[in-house]
């Protein structure tokens, strides 16, 4: 049985790739040997639908399927974070699907709109967290312009348990 997500986040989290077949369809079964090896080597939190999982190149249906497939392949060996994002409607749909699939939490991608006001991002995260039906939320922030005040406001949203920060290399 896996540890709680909160405890597991003190360990190693791994953003999983999304394998494709020769016809450019997602091929989740190709991920199984990679996932099994990573878990055996000590991966604490597999993350489906992260940036290196081609999240923004996937359709919403594909992202929904990948989260469900990863949860099924992990089979309780570790808590799975499911990446969600895009429009608020898409993000809420993905959050509901992740909860139904048995994900342990959501990794909420920062909205892709570079002009989104911090207050709008807080509302976005709140709506996605509510759609996740109580799943803990890891924020994925990647815009330096958001500011520490907005980050504090985001962390005050019920259910937010952490922040993954990506800073571009300059």
Percent of the chain clearing pLDDT 70 (strictly above)? 94
Q: Which of 3-7, 22-26, 61-65, 99-103 has the lowest mean pLDDT?
A: 3-7
What are residue 137's DSSP bridge partners? 106, 160
CATH topology of domain 5-165: TIM Barrel (3.20.20)
pTM flag (> 0.75): yes
Nearest 10 degrees: CA dihedral of 54, 58, 62, 64? 70
Q: Which residue has the tokens 């952490």?
A: 162
The domain locations on the chain are: 5-165
Please indicate whether residue 75 or residue 14 has the higher confidence score (pLDDT): 75
pLDDT band of 1, cuts 50, 70, 90: very low
pLDDT in tens, 87-144: 999 999 999 999 999 999 999 998 877 667 778 899 999 999 999 999 999 999 887 7
Question: How many Å from the N-terminal Cα to the C-terminal Cα in the chain?
Answer: 42
* Mean per-residue pLDDT of the chain: 90
Residue of 114, 124, 122, 123 whose CA lies nearest to 144: 114
């Amino acid at each position: 049985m896996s540890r709680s997500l909160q405890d597991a986040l003190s360990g190693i989290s791994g953003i999983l790739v999304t394998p494709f077949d020769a016809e450019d369809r997602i091929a989740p079964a190709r991920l199984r040997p990679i996932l099994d090896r990573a878990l055996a080597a000590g991966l604490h939190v597999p993350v489906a639908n992260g940036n290196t999982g081609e999240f923004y190149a996937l359709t919403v249906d594909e992202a929904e399927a990948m989260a469900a497939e990863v949860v099924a392949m992990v089979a309780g060996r570790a808590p799975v974070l499911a990446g969600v994002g895009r429009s608020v409607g898409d993000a809420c749909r993905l959050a509901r699907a992740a909860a139904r699939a048995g994900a342990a939490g959501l990794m909420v991608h920062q909205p892709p709109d570079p002009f989104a006001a911090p207050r709008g991002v807080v509302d976005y995260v709140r709506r996605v967290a509510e759609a996740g039906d109580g799943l803990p939320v890891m924020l994925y922030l990647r815009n330096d312009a958001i500011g520490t005040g907005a980050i504090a406001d985001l962390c005050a949203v019920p259910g937010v348990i952490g922040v993954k920060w990506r800073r571009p290399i300059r």
